[in-house]
Structure 1
Amino acid sequence: MKSVFLKLVAGSFVLIGLSTVPAVAQPEEAMFGKALFVENCAACHGADGMGSGPVSALFAEQPRDLRVLSKKNNGIFPFSEVYQSINGRREIAGHGTTDMPVWGDLFMVDAGPSTFHPGVNAEEIVQGRILSLVYYLQTIQE
Structure 2
Amino acid sequence: MRRLGSNLGAALGLSLAATTLLAADAEEGAALYLEHCAACHGLEVDGNGPMAGVMTIKPADLTTLVSGNEGVFPYERVVKRIDGRDPLVAHGSPMPVYGHFFEGGAGALKTQNGQPILTSRAIVDLVRYLETVQQ
Structure 2 length-normalised TM: 0.71
**Is 1:132 aligned with 2:125?**
yes
Cα gap change, 1:14/1:41 in structure 2, threshold over 3 Å: closer, same or farther?
A: farther
Among 64, 71, 79, the alignment partner of 1:68 is 64
The C-alpha deviation readout for 1:66-117, integer Å capped at 9, x for no partner, is: 000100000000011111111110111232234x851222334xxxxxxxxx
2:85 maps to what in 1? 89
Runs of 4+ in 1 over 6 A off after TM superposition: 11-14
Task: From the superposition, tell whether residues 23 and 53 of structure 1 become closer, same or farther in structure 2 (CA, over 3 Å).
Answer: same
Paired residue for 1:7? none
Structure 1 counterpart of 2:41 = 45
CA distance in 2, matches of 1:101, 1:33: 15
Considering only CA atoms, is the larger Rg found in Structure 1 or Structure 2? 2
Alignment-derived partner of residue 114 in structure 1: none
CA contact (8 A) 2:45 2:62 kept: yes
Correspondences of 1:11-22 after superposition (within 5 Å): 15-16=17-18
List alignment gaps of at least 5 residues for structure 1.
1-10, 17-21, 109-121
Amino acid at match of 2:121: G
Residue aligning to 2:116 = none
Tell me the distance in 2 between the aligned counterparts of 1:44 and 1:130.
Answer: 17
Q: Which structure would you say has the larger RCO, counting Cα contacts within 8 Å and 6 or more residues apart?
A: 1
How many residues are treated as equivalent by the alignment?
112
